[in-house]
Structure 1
Amino acid sequence: MTDLLLPVLHAAAEVILSRPGMAGRGHDAERFTADNRQVIVDALVRVPALRARLREDLAADHGQPEAKAVVTLLLSPDDDVVRAGLRLAERLNRESATRRTLRKRHQEKTDDLRSRLATAKGRHEHSDRAFQSARGALADAEKRAEELDTQVAALQRRLHDPRVLASNLLAILQRAPDADDEGPEARDPRNLRTGQGQGSELPLILAAQAAGIAPEVLATAFQAIAAPPQPVPAPHRVTVTGERHLRVHPIGAAEEIGGSSVLVEAGGTRLLVDAGLRPGDPALPPRDIDQALTGPIHAVVVTHAHTDHCGYVPALVERLPDLRILATPETTVLMPRMWADSAKLMSDRERLYRQWGAGGEVLYSRRAVEAAVQRCEEIPFGAVRRIGDLSVELFPAGHILGAAGVVVRAGDQRVVVTGDISGFRQETVDGYSLPDSAREADLLVMESTCCTEDHSARETRVTDLVRAVEEVYTAGGRVLIPAFALGRAQEIAMIMRRHLPHVPVLLDGMAADVTSSFERITADRPAPLRILGNGVSRARRPDDLNLFASGVVITTSGMLTGGPAVQWAARILPEPRSALFLSGYQDEESSGARLLRLVEEQAPHLSINDHGVQKEVPLRARVEMMRLSAHADRRGLIDIADEVGAREVMLVHGLRHRQRDFAKVLQVRGHTPATTARWGSD
């Protein structure tokens, strides 16, 4: 509230200054009022004529009731009334000053409390972020500890299993010494298969020389321990020669992608090449696995550690406790991590179903993973293992670290199973390398994932990805690249590190864990894989979800079906300057495929499930498919078929209509396509 006397005092000052005696002195009414307040008050009390003059000048409404009352009293003809008006104005002014002081103090206290509240809120948010980060780190640590416990328990069991020990010791002795030269060529599996040209000999030869026996004898001894000869059957039960012919039956991923498994038989021996999971929620076993299990299964040979090729193996071990698991050394290291993750997802899903009163199928538990790890036997490229009436040899298949094709032999017959295969050099692995034993085989069982696609040169695809990332980063945006945890994530991280070293890169979730495994597996090689460091680091959630303002995030799942990629997508998709680049195959029912369709339709939102909460996420970011396939395309598959030169070619791990079209191409080139079904003598 303002000083109630001021309007009257200011008007009185103007009247006084207008008198002839004050003219020409240059007085300012406002300043005069401030300097002569008491003189003007005295004049009001003593000079009725001044009050009369002011009553005419101040006839206008002064707004506030208090101000109107004070003006009326001060301009009264009665001197006593004027004095009473002065006392009233002074009292009201004191009360107004008191109220102003109280309001000021109240405002100061309010501001102080708001500041304290903001500080407390900031501390709480910081503590909450720290708690969430610590909880995430604890969950990761618990997961890693559980995986280590699983591997330690399995290793302890393996130490007491002479068959597994003998097989793995033989693998070490048959492994070629590492090349001395640095560079990408030193990573090429073709340079690791033999000691030729390296001035060194296989450890097996050196061990045999030290023992004073032939290398073949030493290898046979270890083979006998790893696979003891079976008792000779009674004469009337001797199998006829015809029963030792190879028989092949694709029981998974015959005319679909995922759930790979091929049954190979000869005589009384039956083995599986791969036993993968079919994608879905929940994941499912190979489509016809129960048919294969109507008889004994003596071994499963795993081509590589992707779950669509190895994910069902622990379930097999639960059903077949003596099952042998054979794979490359790299794959035997990577598989337990994939199995443990699958077991955890199954357990979490079962727990969720129980909460809703429903039943959920769990294909296997952590105990099954431990048992499967115990049964793993390493086979280096080029080494031969005997399994009953069959022998197997692995060769480099490209695709991902440790991936192998398989040559299965029974007598004079041979079948080659490619697994997932590629012929081009990648950042983490080189292309396939066929051994002589694969050439002119009786049957080539070949993957056909990309059998009707003609991919552009890999260098072109890498250049396109690098250019797109640079554009988004320069504009100040973030790039999310959902990627498969095993192989694709490491490949993209190394591309970023090589071509865009100035762009920060985060690896999140399982992609970061598998990257550490890649580095450990190759640490002792002449050209180890160095991925983390120099701008590539692990993500720290939840902090980095908002604090990582510009750069690249590589995380799982590759099809946006779950994992950290969903949390990142919920934040990045609404940002107009940011981008989401899908990098691999998208199942038709996956969130990634749905996102691509919505972008093509110019839909405004994507519905995603973030930790059980359905969210409508605005689609403002740039969304594109940046294919960096690790599968051979049509031209690459033709080259493989030509190089193997098998009598017949069976297509698996692909879509039926594409296989039909590609089979016609093979036929035109002089190959004989076999029906994707049972093959061989019965």
Structure 2
Amino acid sequence: MEVHFHGAAGDVTGSMHLIEAAGKRILLDCGMVQGSPEADARNFAPFPFDASQIDALILSHAHIDHVGRVPRLTLAGFDGPIFTQRATADLLPIMLLDSASLQENEAERSNRKRKPGQPKAVPLYTRDDVRDALSQLHPLDYATRTQILEGVEIAFRDAGHILGSAIVELWADGRKLVFSGDLGMPNAPILRDPTPVADADLLLMESTYGNRNHKQRSETVLELSEILEAAWRDHGNVLIPAFAVGRTQELLYWFARHWNDWDMSRWKIFLDSPMASKVVQVYDHHHELFDAEAREIWRGTPNPFRLPNLRVTQTAEESMSINRIHGGAIIIAGNGMASGGRILHHMRQCLPKRQTRMVFVGYQAEGTLGRRLVDGAQWVRIHGHDVRVNAHRHTVGGLSAHADQQGLLDWYAGFRPSPPLALVHGEDLAREALAGEIHERFGVQATLARPGMTLEV
């Protein structure tokens, strides 16, 4: 068995790893590169392998940095089965159709501004391309060992990252490969904890927060309540960039759980994302994947997805009307790294105001607008306009959907014996720190995967 690294090998986005085993070629993830100025060019670049020779694709979960180039893969000639967990299969049409719509709209805008002689802009893929790719889906349940190709078997285990997120176990050639996908935090709300795995001949493990630990969730929830109270006292709005899957649902969960003690009924709460409203419906259909506490909350009043003061905006006009509200609004909008989407319109209006609270609840990749704000930028450029940043900025790391350093170490400790591993899905500072801790505690020298690198299992 051989593993060839092609994406999220030295950075956080663009997850893509090719496995050659049992005479077959299996791709783990096919994610979009996000954040960097070169991201668009990298997404349009030809794949570093012949897509028509890939026998199967396995997707760990529905975030775009893990699935965003799937239609591009099918356009390049891949016509094999796509295996993923059942809830992920329900989320994929929402995520990919939205991605295609953004691609089509961006190409249309570029072509309207195109000068004579400039090449015509084309989308990375279209909604029709997405529908073609989705016809190749084969949903699987957790904990079901399945032969996907002759000589190749897989099983999905709950990764606790987002709904349907999976740790992938793969058996072939008498060897076992484990791919962590993205691991969630233990004791996080709504979802179950990441499933321990006992053995592997090689582990591919994410390392997004390999160099830091999150605050205790109780401290984080207290911090969130204090931010909301300060914003109310200052008559300001609260802006929260959040991806449609994961943080959005957790925020609504906390609002429902603390409905009375946070006096949440006084706020106007906007979920400014048509995609997020569709995602909510998928969560509603998969209560079997919730932890016990979340199932109890969902049976209570108010239901997190049906808060009496929650308004889900659909049209662009509804979204723009929010900007007429100058205080007392909580606005959750995509995307989570503030590199596109409706949050930009609200940021342009609200960032210059000192009473605004800008709350980051997830990872901000290098090169994104969110990262620049977290790093303290005083001016940012939004839709061609220079915007002064006077708003208060808060990074609420304890709401991250990713395991922190201790969470990663604890999950790795569940293997007996400690397997060799390659660290993926992390910037170098994070990977180096995690590799050092693993070597000190377990005596294992981790490999820092690089694009083009090959490991033999």
Under TM normalisation by the shorter chain, which class is it? 0.7 to 0.9
Does residue 363 of structure 2 align to residue 363 of structure 1?
Answer: no
Cα distance in 2 for partners of 1:587, 1:622 equals: 20
Cα displacement string for residues 481-517 of structure 1 (whole angstroms, at most 9, x for unaligned residues): 1111221122112222222332332100245334433
Question: Percentage identity across aligned positions?
Answer: 28
Question: In the alignment, is the contact (CA less than 8 A) between 1:277 and 1:309 conserved in 2?
Answer: yes
Given the superposition, is the C-alpha separation of residues 247 and 456 from structure 1 closer, same or farther in structure 2, using an over 3 Å criterion? Answer: same
CA distance in 1, matches of 2:211, 2:288: 39
- Name the structure 2 match of 1:608: 382
Match of 1:313 among 53, 70, 74: 70
2: distance between equivalents of 1:640 and 1:671? 16
| 8 Å Cα contact 2:227-2:357 kept in structure 1 | no
Q: 1:383 to 1:566 in 2, by over 3 A?
A: same
| Structure 1 range deviating more: 387-396 or 483-492 | 483-492
Q: Which runs of 4+ in 1 moved over 6 A?
A: 286-289, 523-526
Q: CA separation in 2, counterparts of 1:530 and 1:654?
A: 32
Match of 2:343 in 1: 565
> Which residue in 1 is equivalent to 2:402?
631
Q: Distance in 2 between matches of 1:633 and 1:623?
A: 22
Amino acid in structure 2 at the alignment position of 1:390: V
- With normalisation by structure 1, the TM-score equals 0.59
1:667 alignment partner in structure 2: 439
Mapping 1:532-547, distance limit 5 Å: 532-539=306-313, 540-547=318-325
1:497 corresponding residue in structure 2: 256
Shift in Å, 1:292: 3.3
Partner Cα separation in structure 2 for residue 518 and residue 354 of structure 1: 35
Query: Does the 8 A contact of 2:191 with 2:289 survive in 1?
Result: no
1:464: Cα distance to partner? 0.9
User: Does 2:32 correspond to 1:277?
Assistant: yes
Give SS of 1:541's match: helix
Cα shift readout 1:118-172 (whole Å, capped 9, x = no counterpart): xxxxxxxxxxxxxxxxxxxxxxxxxxxxxxxxxxxxxxxxxxxxxxxxxxxxxxx
Aligned to 1:403: 165
Distance 1:294 1:304 in 2: 21
The structural deviation recorded for 1:441 is 0.9
Deviation for aligned residue 1:421: 0.3
Cα shift at 1:524: 7.9
Pair 1:593 & 2:352 matched: no
1:475 alignment partner in structure 2:
234
CA deviation after TM superposition for structure 1 residue 344, in Å: 1.5
CA 1:289/1:679 → structure 2, altered by over 3 Å: closer, same or farther? farther
Whole-angstrom distance in 1 between the partners of 2:51 and 2:338:
37
Q: Does residue 461 in structure 1 map to residue 220 in structure 2?
A: yes
Q: Which has the higher contact order (CA 8 A, sep 6+)?
A: 2
In 2: Cα distance, 1:597 partner to 1:651 partner: 25
Deviations 1:7-28 (A, max 9, x none): xxxxxxxxxxxxxxxxxxxxxx
State how far apart, in whole Å, the 1-side matches of 2:289 and 2:362 are.
Answer: 29
The answer on 1:266 being equivalent to 2:16 is no
Q: Does 1:551 align with 2:329?
A: yes
Mean Cα deviation higher: 576-585 or 357-366:
357-366
Distance 1:294 1:320, change over 3 A: closer
- Measured after TM superposition, the shift of residue 265 of structure 1 is 1.8
3-state DSSP of counterpart to 1:398: coil
| 3-state SS, counterpart of residue 47 of structure 2 | helix
Calculate the TM-score normalised by the size of structure 2. 0.86
Structure 2 partner of 1:300: 57
User: Are 1:430 and 2:192 matched, yes or no?
Assistant: yes
Change (3 A) 1:454 1:516: closer
CA distance in 2, matches of 1:596, 1:524: 36
Matches of 2:278 and 2:221 in 1, distance apart?
A: 22
Separation of aligned partners in 2, 1:562 and 1:545? 17
- Runs (5+) with no aligned partner, structure 1: 1-245
- Structure 1 residue 377 corresponds to structure 2 residue 153: no
- Where is the strand percentage greater, Structure 1 or Structure 2? 2
Closer/same/farther in 2, CA of residues 648 and 578 from structure 1, 3 Å limit: same
Give the C-alpha shift of residue 337 in structure 1: 1.1
Aligned residues: 425
What residue number does 1:451 align with? 210
SS in 1 for 2:168: strand
Segment of structure 1 superposing worse, 264-273 or 299-308 = 264-273
Deviation at 1:247, TM superposition (A): 1.6
Alignment of 1:121-200 (within 5 A): none
More helix by share: 1
SS in 1 for 2:414: helix
1:563 positional shift: 1.6
1:409-434 residue CA offsets vs partner (Å, 9 max, x unmatched): 01431011000002423333122113
Matching of residue 617 in structure 1 with residue 387 in structure 2: yes
SS of equivalent residue, structure 1 residue 554: strand
SS of 2:319's equivalent? coil
Distance 2:15 2:414 in 1: 24
CA RMSD of aligned residues (A): 2.4
Question: Is the 8 Å Cα contact of residues 400 and 428 (structure 1) preserved in structure 2?
Answer: no
- The residue type paired with residue 389 of structure 2 is L
Report the Cα distance in structure 2 between the residues aligned to 1:360 and 1:626, rounded to whole angstroms. 38
Residue type of the partner of 1:254?
A
| Distance across 1 between alignment mates of 2:50 and 2:289 | 40
Q: Which residue of 1 aligns with 2:423?
A: 651
Take 1:516 and 1:295, find their aligned partners in 2: how far apart are those partners?
Answer: 35
